């Protein structure tokens, strides 16, 4: 329950309460965007500084390989489960959303580990960037497979769906958007700068990347609480299995990440962050790409599930739970 004594988490709870009460409290979009970019830049710098200190060790390589493995496993499992009660397009879109990662969840988890005095490698920020795109590639491939199957079966009865199929953006364009996303580039660029400047850079950026961080995170989580509360309504009238998946799916994904971390002998802090990444769901980058790549899918499903259910679950309960089990099994 230590999460509920953290001011940043309490601001998230407050934001959810204000949103549920339909308050007109809101964070202007430009400020929200600035906070997001600030947090990503800070995370990248911290990761770069840590990598400059530790170097490229076997532990770093193992962690990055584990992250890439989970980025492939999660969307594959998700699609296999979801296509049993959803259309192929919705299953692919949701699988991509849950196969990718939430940077804010990761940043919040990193702060939680700092608060608990749990050491973790700065390279886990690189792991987060590595896990961003594989699920998008998988979803685009599966959606194209569904389209071909529909064409072969001659079941295109809706002219609007036919228009989507014929006018769908090429895979190369989708991949370019996924791999050159501005937020991801900022994270990697900041990490490179931190790596190049090392300890002198850490000292110079301390007022920006350390002293301001907690307050900026609290402000951003307030905004996320408001958004989460206002997006829960998108799931009204949907299959109850979606609610089950939005909560149990992340737990299963985290459990698989813990098993992989145990097999690879990862440190508890790195394992906890791998669990967080595997359990999180994207609600910014992936929905933005999927909206154009798979227009047949319903945004209310993949966006409502990730932001309205999974994100609050991970922030309030998931992060301390994942850390508890990582410490229990990995010391």
pLDDT digits (tens, 9 = 90+) for 256-315: 999 999 999 999 999 999 999 999 999 877 887 788 788 888 888 888 899 989 999 999
Helix (H, G, I), strand (E, B) or coil at 229: helix
User: What is the C-alpha to C-alpha distance for residues 176 and 181, in angstroms, rounded to an integer?
Assistant: 8
| C-beta of residue 202 within 8 angstroms of C-beta of residue 272 | no
> Could you state, in order of their start, the residue ranges of all structural domains in the chain?
32-330
Q: What is the pTM of this model?
A: 0.85
Q: How many CB atoms lie within 10 A of CB 330?
A: 17
Q: Which residues of 173-183 are buried (b: 16+ CB within 10 A; e: fewer)?
A: ebbebbeebeb
More confident residue, 5 or 122: 122
Write down the pLDDT at residue 182. Answer: 74
Express each pLDDT in 195-217 by its tens digit. 899 999 999 999 998 889 889 99
Residue 158 has pLDDT above 60, yes or no: no
Percentage of the chain exceeding pLDDT 70: 90
Q: How large is the average pLDDT for residues 72-82?
A: 95
User: What is the C-alpha to C-alpha distance for residues 203 and 184, in angstroms, rounded to an integer?
Assistant: 24
Residue 238 has pLDDT above 50, yes or no: yes
Mean per-residue pLDDT over the chain, rounded: 86
Which of the following CATH numbers is that of domain 32-330: 1.10.10, 1.20.1530, 1.10.1660, 1.10.287?
Answer: 1.20.1530
User: What is the C-alpha to C-alpha distance for residues 264 and 211, in angstroms, rounded to an integer?
Assistant: 35
Write down the pLDDT at residue 154. Answer: 60
| CA atoms within 13 Å, Cβ hemisphere of 54 | 18
| C-beta of residue 138 within 8 angstroms of C-beta of residue 99 | yes
Which tokens sit at 303?
């966006």
Any alpha helices (H) in the chain, and if so which ranges? 7-20, 29-54, 58-82, 88-99, 103-115, 124-130, 134-153, 159-166, 171-179, 182-206, 213-231, 240-264, 268-279, 285-293, 299-305, 311-313, 319-330
Residue 1 has pLDDT above 60, yes or no: no
């Amino acid at each position: 329950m230590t999460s509920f004594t953290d001011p940043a988490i309490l601001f998230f709870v407050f934001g959810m309460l204000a949103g549920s009460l339909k308050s007109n409290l809101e964070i202007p979009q430009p400020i929200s965007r600035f906070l997001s970019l600030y947090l990503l830049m800070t995370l990248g710098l911290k990761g770069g500084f840590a990598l400059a200190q530790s170097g490229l060790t076997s532990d770093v390589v193992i962690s990055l390989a584990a992250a890439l493995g989970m980025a492939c496993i999660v969307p594959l499992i998700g699609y296999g489960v979801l296509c049993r009660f959803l259309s192929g397009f919705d299953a692919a879109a949701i699988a991509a959303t849950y196969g990718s990662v939430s940077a804010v969840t990761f940043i919040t988890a990193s702060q939680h580990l700092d608060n608990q005095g749990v050491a973790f490698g700065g390279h886990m920020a690189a792991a987060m960037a590595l896990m961003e795109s594989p699920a998008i590639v998988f979803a685009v491939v599966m959606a194209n497979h569904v389209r071909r199957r529909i064409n072969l079966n001659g079941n295109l009865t809706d002219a609007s769906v036919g228009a989507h199929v014929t006018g769908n953006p090429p895979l190369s364009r989708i991949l370019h958007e996924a791999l050159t996303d501005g937020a991801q580039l900022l994270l990697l660029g900041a990490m490179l700068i931190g790596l190049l400047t090392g300890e002198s850079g850490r000292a110079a950026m301390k007022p920006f990347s350390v002293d301001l961080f907690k307050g900026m995170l609290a402000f951003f989580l307030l905004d996320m609480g408001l958004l989460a509360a206002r997006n829960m309504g998108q799931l009204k009238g949907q299959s109850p299995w979606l609610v089950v998946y939005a909560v149990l799916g992340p737990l299963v994904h985290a459990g698989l990440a813990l098993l992989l971390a145990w097999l690879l002998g990862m440190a508890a802090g790195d394992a906890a962050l791998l669990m967080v990444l595997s359990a999180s769901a994207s609600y910014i980058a992936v929905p933005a790409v999927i909206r154009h790549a798979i227009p047949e899918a319903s945004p209310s499903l993949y966006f409502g599930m990730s932001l309205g259910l999974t994100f609050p679950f991970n922030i309030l309960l998931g992060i301390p739970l994942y850390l508890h089990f990582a410490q229990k099994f990995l010391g």
